Amino acid sequence: MRRVYRAPAGRQQSVVALDGVDLRVDPGQRVGIVGSSGSGKSTLLRLLLALESADAGEIVYDNRPIAPGGVRDLRWYRQQVQYVPQDPAGSLDPRRRVADLVAEPLRRLHVDVDHRARVAQVLAAVGLDETFLLRRPHELSGGQCQRVAIARALAPGARMILADEPVSGLDLPLRQQVLAVLEQVCATVQTGLIIVTHDLSVVSRLCDRCVVMSEGRIVEDATTSDLLTRPTHPETRRLLGSIPRLLTA
């Protein structure tokens, strides 16, 4: 798969964001995509979310090709694959209550379930009780906002969650709480996870497998335990060296 951002005439040269990327994720698998800024991981995430098209190659889910399109065309895919943003507080409509925020994807995707019961179910799955139903985002902590974002992703019955640096803006206690929620959700709901991050400690906590990207390419793809203990690529060793506490964790 290849993705090139072409510069306007007279400006700097085009940027090759992805070059020869080939990635397969099996149902229920938890995969971390790591790399430094500019490595291509965010571009790959946008392609997986069907927000952009590849210049070469394609995204295939359940034997069906995926490309950007209208809500109706992608409704089936949005039910199956959901997104947890880096900044949940900024992505939640401040005017709406938690009950409406979590039910929104059910309405937009025409999910045929009891919406009120599903909202209560997914909120319970992320550790929020019914007292949160009438709260608005400004009444929630950063960790609680992220739990609401995870509940929204679970609501349509997603089989795969794509998360973009989901704990990067949280302090250590809230970070540990959100990681525990994601870990529990993946285990109990049997949901797959693709998490984009620069932090290998997050991957070591959540993922069975880790993919390392550098300059638009996948340079290492291994089980998380093998990658953390026996890295083979210089970029992986550099990332490990930046967080030495992992070596004694």
Across the chain, what does the average pLDDT equal?
90
pLDDT, tens digit, 9 for 90 and up, residues 180-226: 999 988 888 889 999 999 888 899 999 999 999 999 999 999 999 99
For the chain, what is the domain count?
1
Type of residue at 184: Q
Spatial CA neighbour of 201 closest among 168, 246, 155 = 246
Q: What percent of the chain has pLDDT over 70?
A: 96
Q: Are 32 and 195 in contact (CB under 8 A)?
A: yes
8 A C-beta contact, residue 204 and residue 247: no
What average pLDDT does range 120-128 have in this prediction? 94
Confidence of residue 10 (pLDDT cuts 50, 70, 90): low
Backbone angles phi, psi at 41, to 5 degrees: -65, -35
Residue type, 149: A
Residue 246 pLDDT exceeds 50? no
Which CATH number covers residue 196?
3.40.50.300
Outline where DSSP puts E strands in 112-207: 160-164, 192-197
Residue range 26-69, pLDDT digits in tens: 989 999 999 988 899 999 999 999 999 999 999 999 999 998 98
List, as one string, the DSSP characters of 43-103: HHHHHHTTSS--SBS-EEETTEEE----HHHHHHHHHHEEEE-S-HHHHS-TTS-HHHHHH
- In degrees and rounded to multiples of 5, residue 132 shows phi and psi of -85, -10
Quote the CA–CA distance of 57 and 22 in Å, as a whole number.
9
Q: Which domain holds residue 23?
A: 2-248
Note the pTM of the prediction, 2 decimals. Answer: 0.89
